[in-house]
Amino acid sequence: MSLTTLRERSRAPTSRELDGIAWLQPLSASHRRLALGSLRVVQADAGEVLCRTGRPASYWFGVIDGLLKMSGDAGDGAAPLTFTGVPPGAWFGEGTLLKGEAYRYNIEALRRSVVAGITAEVFHELLAHSLPFNRFVVNQLNERLGQFIAAREIDRIHDPDSRVARNLAALFHPVLYPGVGEVLRITQQELGYLVGLSRQRVNEALRTLQAQDLIRIDYGGVRVLDLAALRAYRGQPRGSASVDEADR
C-alpha cells in the first residue's frame, strides 16, 4: 500500500485520540492550533508499510493504537533486520526529519493499527518556536539513544529467555511508549517477529519469566510485574548458542 493511499484514507483525530498525544498538551494555544491543523490519523492494516527505506521523510508519526515494527533491509536475500517494536504512545522519525534524510528503515504494521502524523513543515515550525515541543523531542532523542545501545547488547545475547525478557522490557519504556501502561497487547507470534524466535519458543520463554514472577501472561497480552528485573534479566543458556539460531 502506497503512502499516497494512506494519505487519502486519513482523517482528523477524535478528541479521545488527541488526549493520548503526550506532546500536544503542554503547547501554547497558538502552537496547539498549528499542530491540530496538521494532525491526521489513518488506520493501517497488518502488513501495510508506512515508511520505506530510501523514501523521503515527509511526516512525523505516532502510534495511537496497535503495533508497528521497525526493520532494515539486510540485503543479499537475507531476512530483514528487526530493530524494535513500536507500541502505542510512541512517536518516531524525528532524527530523520532533523537530518533531512530519506528513511533508513521500514515501518510496517504488525496488526491493524491507528497511526497519527504531522507534516515535516509543521514539525520544524514547532521545533523552531515551541520550547515544550523542543523539550519533548530532545528527551525522545536521548531516550532513543539509550534504547538502541541496549538493543546492541540484546543482539549479543544467545539465551532465548533473556532475549524475550530484554525485548519485552524495551516495549515497556515509560517515556518512549507512554501508551502501553501495565499491559502490552501483543500476541506470541508478534513477539516472535520482533525477537527473532518461533512462537513456540517465545511461549516457553514467557512461561519461564512468569514462573519467576517477572511477568504475568494475560489474555491477549503480557503484564510486567518487575520491569527493573526484566531489563537486567540474564537466564542460563540451554545447550549451545545454536538453539537461538535453530528457532529463527
**DSSP states along 17-80:** HHHT-TTTTTS-HHHHHHHHHH-EEEEE-TT-EEE-TTSBP-EEEEEEES-EEEEE---TTPPP
Question: Residues of CATH 2.60.120.10 domain(s) within the chain?
Answer: 3-149
Q: What is the third-level CATH fold of 158-246? A: Arc Repressor Mutant, subunit A (1.10.10)
Rounded Cα–Cα distance for residues 145 and 36 (Å): 29
Q: What angle do CA 221, 226, 229 make, to 5 degrees?
A: 120
The pLDDT score that the predictor gives to residue 248 is 36
The set of cell numbers assigned to 100 is 533531512
Question: Residues of CATH 1.10.10.10 domain(s) within the chain?
Answer: 158-246
**Domain 3-149, classified CATH 2.60.120.10, yes or no:** yes
The pLDDT score that the predictor gives to residue 238 is 43
- Match 504488525 to its residue by C-alpha cell: 110
The pLDDT score that the predictor gives to residue 7 is 79
The pLDDT score that the predictor gives to residue 1 is 45
The residues of the chain scoring below 70 in pLDDT are 1-4, 74-81, 149-156, 236-248
The pLDDT score that the predictor gives to residue 242 is 36
pTM: 0.79
Instruction: Let me know: does 68 contact 125? Beta carbons within 8 Å.
Output: no
The pLDDT score that the predictor gives to residue 78 is 55
Residue 47: name the closest of 133, 117, 113, 128 by CA.
Answer: 113
Instruction: Let me know: does 70 contact 167? Beta carbons within 8 Å.
Output: no
Rounded Cα–Cα distance for residues 48 and 199 (Å): 22
For 77-109, give one letter per residue: b (16+ CB within 10 A) or e.
eeeeebbbbbbbbbbbbbebbeeeeebebbbbb
Q: What's at 106, amino acid-wise?
A: N
Q: What's at 204, amino acid-wise?
A: E
Exposed/middle/buried for 116, CB within 10 Å: 0-12, 13-18, 19+? buried
